[in-house]
Amino acid sequence: MDGGSSLNILYADTLNRMGISRKDLRPGRAPFFGIIPGTQATPLGSIRLLFTFGDLANFWKEVLDFEVVNFASPYHGLLGQPCYAKLMAVPHYRCLKLKMLGPWGVIMVASSTAEVCC
């Protein structure tokens, strides 16, 4: 989660692990700054993916756009402001959780490394 990011980012390694070919990428946007300090980054392309948040009792499906970058990272991707705005979600950085309204109440998405809180 990165509330300061104006992009949703997916790392190329994650794309490969998902079995998605780079041929499925659309042309990327213009280069962007801030990922690597002092250097511009050019995405490999962009991709639209269907995400499901929640569980069987309370879930929400949404298509999200990601810029695909070829950086090494311990993360699979980065959810930024475009995601929060589309889902009307609220990030809770202390607990590494994202909260959004689902059809049957609040959906809480937690990091696999998040401690139990909130």
pLDDT tens sequence across 71-116: 877 778 878 778 788 888 887 777 778 888 889 999 888 766 545 5
If one compares 17 and 85, the residue with the highest pLDDT of the two is: 17
Q: Is the separation of the CB atoms in 65 and 52 below 8 Å?
A: no
Which residues have CB under 8 Å from 112's CB, separation 6+?
none
Structural domain includes residue 80:
yes
Indicate whether 36 pLDDT > 70. no
Domain that holds residue 16: 9-87
Structural domain includes residue 40:
yes
pTM for the structure as a whole? 0.79
Q: How far apart are CA 16 and CA 81, in angstroms?
A: 25
The tally of domains found in the chain comes to: 1
pLDDT tens sequence across 38-73: 677 788 899 999 988 888 999 989 899 999 988 877
Structural domain includes residue 116:
no
Structural domain includes residue 109:
no
Structural domain includes residue 104:
no
Exposed, middle or buried, 74 (CB in 10 Å: 0-12/13-18/19+)?
A: exposed
Q: How far apart are CA 95 and CA 97, in angstroms?
A: 5
Structural domain includes residue 28:
yes
Residue 31 tokens read as 């280069």
